[in-house]
Structure 1
Amino acid sequence: MNISRRSILGMGGGLAAAATLVACGQNNPMASPTGAASPATSETGMATGEKVDLTQWYHEYGEAGVKEAVERFAAEYEAANVTVKWTPGDYNSILAAQLLTAEVPDVFEAEQGGSLDQIRSGQLEDLTELIGDAKDQFNKSVMKRFTFEDKIHGIPQTIDMQLLYYRPSLLKAAGVEVPTTFEELVAAANAVKTSSTGGFFAGNDGGIGVLGTLFIWASGYEQLNDDRTEAAFLNDDFYKALVAYRDFSKSGGVVQSASAEWYSPDAFVNEEAAFQWGGLWSLPDITKAFGDDVGVMAFPAMGAKGRPAVPFGAFGACVAAKGKNVEAAKDFVKWLWIDQEDKQVEFSDAYGTHIPAKDALVSKATKLSSGPGSEAAKFVADSGFANDIMWSGAIGDKFNAAVSNVIKNGADPAAEFEPLKDLIKSELEKLKG
Structure 2
Amino acid sequence: MAGETLPGVTRKERADARIVLHVDMDCFYASCERLREPELRGEPVVVGMGYEAGESFGAVATASYEAREYGIDSAQPISQALERLPQIENAADDEPGGHYRPVDMEFYKSVASEVKEILHDCADVVREVSIDEAYLDVTDRTAWQTVEGDDRTLAEGVGRHVKQRISREVGVPASVGVAPNMSAAKVASDHDKPNGLVVVPPGSVSEFLAPLSVTEVHGVGPVTARKMAEMGIQTAGDLAAADPSTLEERFGSRGRELYDRARGVDDRAVTPTGRPKSLSRESAFAEATEDTEEKANVVTALAADVAERARSRGAMYRTIGIKVVTPPYDVNTRAQSLSGPVDDPELVREVALDLLSEFEDAATRKVGVRVSNLSFTDADQSSLDGWEGASASATEDATTAGAMEDAPVADSPAEDIPAAEQPTEDAEDSGWAAENGQVSLGDFD
TM-score bin, normalised by smaller chain: under 0.3
Query: Normalized against structure 1, the TM-score is what?
Result: 0.23
Q: Which has the higher helix share?
A: 1
Higher relative contact order (CA 8 A, sep 6+): 1
TM-score by length of 2: 0.23
* Larger Rg, first or second structure (1 or 2): 2
